[in-house]
Amino acid sequence: MTAHEVREPLTRDRVLAAAMAVADSEGLAAVTMRRVAAELDVEAMSLYHHIPSKDSLLDGLVEALVTEIARSAPARTPGEEWRSALGSRCLSARQVVMRHRWAPELIGSRTQVPAGLVTEYEAVLAIMIDGGLGYHLAHRGLHALGSMILGFTQELFAMPDGDTDAATEAELSAMPEQYPHLTAMVAAELHDNDDDPLGWCDSQAEFEFTLGLILDGLARHHEMTGDLANQHPGHTVR
């Protein structure tokens, strides 16, 4: 930097944006105060004026992710049916997570619920209530959707990365005899997709299928039980 160049002021948002860039390019394990400082071309100590610790940095990274999910959410069109609106919101969140593959691991590691996530739950709940679901069924819907609201599911298992050791090779060799149905299922679903988080099945298709099952199930239960929202006078169900 020359004497005439003015350095952009360091802010919490800039620190979090740099941390996200490091996580995207190098993985979550690379996100340290020192590495983020290097990304910003500043001394590591200067970060502590904005982020007091690495835990705070990771919590802030979750906040930044949830903010991106909320800002990316599609606006609900007039008259749009609630299942369509909620499905579009979950699929939009998934697009964000696919840009930040570290997100599920990080979210699962945090012990506190970020404020932005509460706001996201409120938005999802509002869609269900506007659709005529009562608070009891909508509460069940939040539980059923779980992390799908944030665009991901807890996968059953993933294929090993890189070379497997002798013990793992032995376990894989023994699978057909010990677990015939699991082995047959994987063989039936196996495909090569380096861009997929699982690497062996189409997790996007499975996400959409599961999301559809949950939304259709909630709608069916609503129709069968007559579950009604506690609506304000004049409220229109969509």
Mean per-residue pLDDT pooled into runs of 10, the chain (238 residues)? 66 97 97 97 95 94 94 92 96 94 90 83 93 93 92 63 54 75 76 58 86 94 77 53
- Tell me how far apart the alpha carbons of residues 184 and 201 are, in angstroms, rounded to a whole number: 13
CATH code, 117: 1.10.357.10
Residues of the domain holding 143: 72-156+165-238
Query: How many domains in the chain?
Result: 1
Residue 33 lies in a domain: no
Residue 21 lies in a domain: no
Residue 4 lies in a domain: no
- Tell me how far apart the alpha carbons of residues 201 and 217 are, in angstroms, rounded to a whole number: 24
Q: Give the predicted TM-score (pTM) of the model.
A: 0.79
- Tell me how far apart the alpha carbons of residues 223 and 128 are, in angstroms, rounded to a whole number: 14
Handedness of CA 99, 108, 153, 89 (dihedral sign): negative
* Contacting residues for 195 by C-beta, under 8 A, at least 6 apart: none
DSSP SS3 for 35: helix
